[in-house]
Amino acid sequence: MCAKGFGQSQPTKTDKLVESAVRYCHKRHPEALDSIFDNLPVNLNQRVVTGILAALQKDIDTLSWFCGYMASEINRSEDNQKPHHPIAELSKTLITSGMEPFTDFMPYPGCRIVILNSEKFEALPPRVQAAVKEAFDVVETSGEEAQRRNEALLRELEV
């Protein structure tokens, strides 16, 4: 009789998915991430993303790459060979400046980033703000407009 794992909690489906997703992020394998995210319901996708963010919290390079993936900047493994990934680079700059992805800023499909915490963004050093404004079109929207965009995006992702 095997007592393997007796008395110890077994990893959940979410734990296993997060572990796989984190491994795929480290390998820079967007197609494998697609295979996870394309086959899960939205609420489970959200839990997997939360787990990825927690696991990669101290690995800024991989976390920045993941932001580029989430913004559709990196869709295929070949995209990893490109010398310049503006969203991933901006994400790295924001993260190293103290902003948290999916809390203070959000990578969006279409190679966009939405600043969720404008107060924290405005508190960044002027050189960081200037670099963002120089590299990207900065558009301010009302909370209501942002909410409408979020809802439209969620409808697109649920299809």
Residue 36 covered by a domain? yes
State the pLDDT at residue 111: 84
Which residues, 6 or more positions from 111, have their beta carbon under 8 angstroms from its beta carbon? 71, 72, 73, 86, 87
Counting the structural domains of the chain, the total is: 1
User: pTM of the predicted model, to two decimals?
Assistant: 0.81
Whether 106 has a pLDDT exceeding 80, the answer reads yes
**Structural contact between residues 91 and 113, judged by C-beta atoms closer than 8 angstroms:** yes
Q: Rounded to whole angstroms, what are the CA distances from 22 to 29, 35, 80, 139, 156?
A: 10, 13, 16, 32, 25
Mean pLDDT of 65-74: 94
pLDDT digits (tens, 9 = 90+) for 107-154: 888 888 888 888 998 899 998 888 888 877 766 666 677 667 666 665
Residue 154 covered by a domain? yes
Give me the domain span that covers residue 59. Answer: 13-158
Residue 66 covered by a domain? yes
The proportion of the chain whose per-residue pLDDT surpasses 90, expressed as a percent, equals: 52
Q: Compute the distance between CA of residue 150 and CA of residue 140 in angstroms, rounded to an integer.
A: 15
pLDDT digits (tens, 9 = 90+) for 14-30: 999 999 999 999 999 99
**Structural contact between residues 21 and 29, judged by C-beta atoms closer than 8 angstroms:** no
